A and B are shown apart, each in its own frame.
Chain A
Amino acid sequence: MTLDTVKHAAETPESAQPWKELGLKQDEYERIREILDRRPTGAELAMYSVMWSEHCSYKSSKVHLKQFGEKAPENDALLVGIGENAGVVDVGQGYAVTFKVESHNHPSYIEPYQGAATGVGGIVRDILAMGARPVAVMDPLRFGAADHPDTKRVLPGVVAGIGGYGNCLGLPNIGGEVVFDPCYQGNPLVNALCVGVMKHEDIHLAKASGAGNKVILYGARTGGDGIGGVSVLASETFDSTGPSRRPAVQVGDPFQEKLLIECTLEIFREDLVAGIQDLGGAGLSCATSELASAGSGGMRVELDTVPLRDATLSPEEILMSESQERMCAVVEPGNVDRFLEICEKWDVIATVIGEVTEGERLEIFWHGEQIVDVPPRSVAHEGPTYHRPYARPEWQDALQADDANKLARPANADELREQILKLVASPNQASKAWITDQYDRFVQGNTVLAQPEDSGMVRIDEETNLGVAVSTDGNGRYAKLDPYTGAQLALAESYRNVAASGAKPLAISDCLNFGSPEDPGVMWQFAEATRGLADACQILGTPVTGGNVSLYNQTGDTAIHPTPVVAVLGVIDDVTRRTPIAFAEEGQLLYLLGETREEFGGSAWSQVVHDHLGGLPPQVDLERERLLAEILISGSRDGMIDAAHDLSDGGVVQAVVESCLRGGRGARLVVPDGLDAFTFLLSESAGRAIVAVPRSEELRFTDMCGARGLPATRIGVIDGDAVEVQGEFSIPLSELRTAHEETVPGLLA
C-alpha cells in the first residue's frame, strides 16, 4: 500500500475514503475536508474519526455537561476543575486529592477479565498524570439478572480482572457497588474509580508549551491492541471482501503499570516534566492532539520512532492503538537525559518521538514523509457538538402512575417477617463479600474503612491521621422513574454515606451511563439527570470535578435504566474518629434521624416481593441532607455516636440487619408512634440514617438534634442475638446471616 501523505491527499482529492466504516457521518467528513481544505490523509482520517467519536468528543452530551461548570458552587477546596485528566481538591495540611470515576462497559462485556482490568489501569493512569500517587480504587458494577447464565460468564471475569490488576499494583479496593437488574443484560456497567494523593505543588497538567521541548513516549511498546475499526485503513481497497479486522481487545500488564507509576513519580519528584498525559482511548491520536491543543498548538512527531511490538503496524494503526501502560510527557531539552535515565532505571522504555514547535499545527511524519498536518484544536477540542432532540417518553406518565404504594402489603407479622428474610437474601440486598473478598482491601496498610462500610476510607498522613472517604452510589430504578430526582438521589446517597462515616463531603465525580443519544427518550433522561445533578451540587456545595459519559448502553431498542453513578469525596481530620456501621456495644441506643414517609416507588421491597417498578422515587430534600450530614459529622467528631448507617434501598430493616451482622449483636426495635411496622421498616425515604448512641451521650446528642431541627426518634437498643421488632416478629442473627450471606456465593461460586 502506498503511503497516503499530505501531498498525495492534496493531489488526489477524489479518492474514496472509508469515513463511514470509521463511524463518521457525512457532514462530519465534509467538515474535516473544510478544516483541512483538502481531503484528509488516512492517518488524519483515523485521528479525526476516533477523536470525534462519542466516547472522546462528548458530542451528544457536552451541551448538557456545560451546566456542571456554569452552576458550579463556590468552593475554595477545588484546585483543578473539570476538563483536566481529573479534578483536584484541597484536603488541608498541604495535601491535595484527585479522584475520578470512568466507565469501561463495552470492553468488559466482550472480554470481562481484560476489559475490567484495563479499566482499572486506565483510571489509575489518569490519576497518575495529575501528579498524584494512586492510593485506592473502587468499582461500581452493574450486571444482568443474578441467575442469568451470561451473568455467570461476565461477573466472575470482571471481578477477577479488577482484583488481578488492582492487587498486582498494590492498590486497596475500598468499595463500590454490585447491582443486578435484567436491564443490564448484554450491557453490564463496569465503572472504575481511583483516588490519588499529592502535595499542592505537585499538580501537573496536560499541556505542551515551550517550543523546542521534547515529546517523550514512555511505557509499554505499541501493539495492535484496541484498534478495531481503523484497520479498514490499512487495507488497500475497501471492496466487499473487506480487510481482516484486528480485535478491539486490549490486554493489560499490571507489573508494567506499577513500574510506570514509580517511574513517573520519581520524574515528578525531580520536576522534569512541563506537561504530561496518559494514553487511554484513542492512544497517541488523543495524547498528541490534546497536549498540543492545550498548549501553544504546535507539535511535530516522527511516528516511525514509536517502539512497536508488531513491526507490521501501519501509521494509522499506531496512531489509533490503545495499547495499555503508556504515557506521554513534554520535557525541556535540558531534562531529557535525566528523564531517560530514570526510565531506564525502572526498566521502562522511553523514546523521544517529537517536539513542541512554534507553529499552530500538529505535524506527524512517517519515515520523513508528512502524513498529518492539522490544527490540533480541531481534533481535540473543537469536534462536533450535537443538540440532539429530546422528549419525555410517552410511557413515563404510565410508569409514574403505576403507584408502588398501592401494592399489596404483608397481611400480618408472619408475612412481614417472611418478606424481610426474602429481601435481605435477594441478590441486590445480600452481602457482596464473596465479590469484595477477592480484592485486596488492606494493602499499603492505610485502609480505615472498606466494604461493607458506608464509604471507603484511607489515611493519607500517618502523623496527623488525616484521611479521605469516598462512596459511589447510583440507583437506576429511581432514575428510570424520574431521572432528575434519581440523579439527585444518587448524589444524596453518596453524600450521606461519606458523612455517615464521619467525613465532610467536598466534591464529586460522576459516571453517566445511558442508552443511545439518538433516542429522544434517552436524551431526555440524560438532560434531566445532568440538570438534576448540577442543581443538587449547587445546593450541597459540592462541585463536579470530572467524570465520564457512557452512551449507547443498549441492546436493540431497549436501553438500560438511566444510571448516573455519583462518587463523593470527603475529608476527615482524624481517621481514628471515623464512624463504622457495626452495632457492637450492647445497651447503646438506636436513633432514627430524619423523617419516614410512605415511599415505595422503585424500592427494593417492590422489586423483591412484587417484581414491580413504578410510581415516584423518594422525595429529595437537599437542605435536609446537608443538615443530616452536619449532625453525623459533629456526632462522630465529638464522640456522641459509635455507629451510623445511612438508609437507602431496603430502608431501616436492611440497615439494621447489616449493622447487626457486622457487629455480631442483635437489636430490639419499637415501631415509632405514627408509623406502621411495614412503612417503618421498608420505606426508602431519603435524608435518613440510623445511629447508635452511648447512653451517656444520649442527652447531648438529642439536644444537638433538637437545637438544629433534625427529627431524631429513639427506635430501640442494641441487645441480644436477634433482630426483634416488638409486637411483630423476631429473627435470630444466625438465620439472618444465612439468608444474607449465602445468596451470592450460591449463585456465582
Chain B
Amino acid sequence: MARVVVDVMLKPEILDPQGQAVQRALPRLGFQGIADVRQGKRFELEVEGPVDEAALARIHEMAETFLANTVIEDFVVKVEEPATAGESK
C-alpha cells in the first residue's frame, strides 16, 4: 500500500502560540540556539490502490476541505516511496 503524507502548517504570518510555548521552554531546558519554532500537523494516509493523478487530486481536495483550514493553514501533499518509507532523513 502506498503512503501519501499531508503536512499542514500555519501560514507563516499567523501567530502560533504552541510553537512559541515550545520555543520559550527550550532555553529553560538547556537547549540553546533556537531562534523560532513553528508547530504543524502531519497526516499519513495509507492509500488503497494506485497513487495516480486521480488519487492525488482526491487527496488534495481532502486536504483542502478537511485536513487543513486553508484560511489560516498551508498544506503540502507528498507521495512517500515504499523503499524509503520508515527511513529517517
Instruction: Write the residues of chain A forming the contact surface with B, with a CB cutoff of 8 angstroms.
Output: 110-111, 114, 220, 223-225, 246-247, 249-253, 255-256, 309-310, 323-324, 347
Contacts and interface: CB of A to CB of B under 8 A. Distances in A.
B72 A251 contact: yes
Contacts of A114: 72
Interface stretch (B8-16, B40-48, B49-57, B79-87): B8-16
A247 B14 CA distance: 8
Smallest CB-CB A-B distances: 3 pairs: A224-B13, A253-B17, A251-B15
Nearest to A255: B17
Given A111-B69, A249-B72, A220 B13 contact: no
B72 A310 contact: no
A309 B20 CA distance: 10
Nearest to A111: B71
A541 B22 CA distance: 53
B12 A251 contact: no
A246 B24 CA distance: 26
Interface residues of B, number: 14
B71 A256 contact: no
Contact of B14 (A110, A251, A347): A251
A251 B71 contact: no
B17 A249 contact: no
29 contacts: A111-B71, A114-B72, A220-B15, A223-B13, A223-B14, A224-B13, A225-B14, A225-B15, A247-B11, A247-B13, A247-B14, A247-B71, A247-B72, A249-B14, A249-B71, A249-B72, A251-B14, A251-B15, A251-B16, A251-B72, A252-B15, A253-B17, A253-B20, A255-B17, A255-B21, A256-B17, A310-B12, A310-B13, A347-B24
B48 to A, nearest CB: 28
Contacts of A255: 17, 21
A154 to B, nearest CB: 12
A224 B14 CA distance: 7
A246 B12 CA distance: 10
A220 B17 CA distance: 10
A323 B15 contact: yes
Contacts of B21: 255
Contacts of A250: 15
Contacts of A347: 24
Contacts of A256: 17
Contacts of A252: 15
Contacts of A110: 71
Contacts of B11: 247
Contacts of A323: 15
A283 to B, nearest CB: 14
A615 B21 CA distance: 57
A174 to B, nearest CB: 26
Contacts of A251: 10, 14-17, 72
Q: Chain A interface mostly helix, strand, loop or mixed?
A: loop
B71 A223 contact: no
Given A247-B14, A324-B15, A347-B24, 13 more contacts: A111-B72, A223-B13, A223-B14, A223-B15, A225-B13, A247-B11, A249-B14, A249-B71, A250-B15, A251-B72, A252-B15, A309-B15, A310-B12
Nearest to B12: A310
B40 to A, nearest CB: 14
B15 A253 contact: yes
A393 to B, nearest CB: 35
A225 B14 CA distance: 6
Nearest to A251: B15
Contacts of B16: 251
Nearest to B18: A253
A309 B71 CA distance: 20
Nearest to B72: A249
Nearest to A225: B15
Interface string B1-43: 0000000001111111100110010000000000000000000
A225 B16 CA distance: 11
A5 to B, nearest CB: 26
Contacts of B14: 223, 225, 247, 249, 251
Contacts of B13: 223-225, 246-247, 310
A255 B10 CA distance: 19
A110 B14 CA distance: 15
B35 to A, nearest CB: 11
A633 to B, nearest CB: 45
A679 to B, nearest CB: 49
B81 to A, nearest CB: 33
A249 B13 CA distance: 10
Interface in B58-74: 69, 71-72
Nearest to A115: B71
A223 B10 CA distance: 13
A632 to B, nearest CB: 45
B15 to A, nearest CB: 4
B17 to A, nearest CB: 4
Nearest to B21: A255
A252 B16 CA distance: 9
| Central interface residue in B15, B16, B71, by most chain A CB within 10 Å | B15
A309 to B, nearest CB: 7
Nearest to B71: A111
Contacts of A224: 13
A114 B73 CA distance: 13
Nearest to B36: A309
Nearest to A254: B17
Nearest to B14: A251
Nearest to A113: B69
Contacts of B71: 110-111, 247, 249
Nearest to A317: B13
Contacts of B24: 347
A306 to B, nearest CB: 15
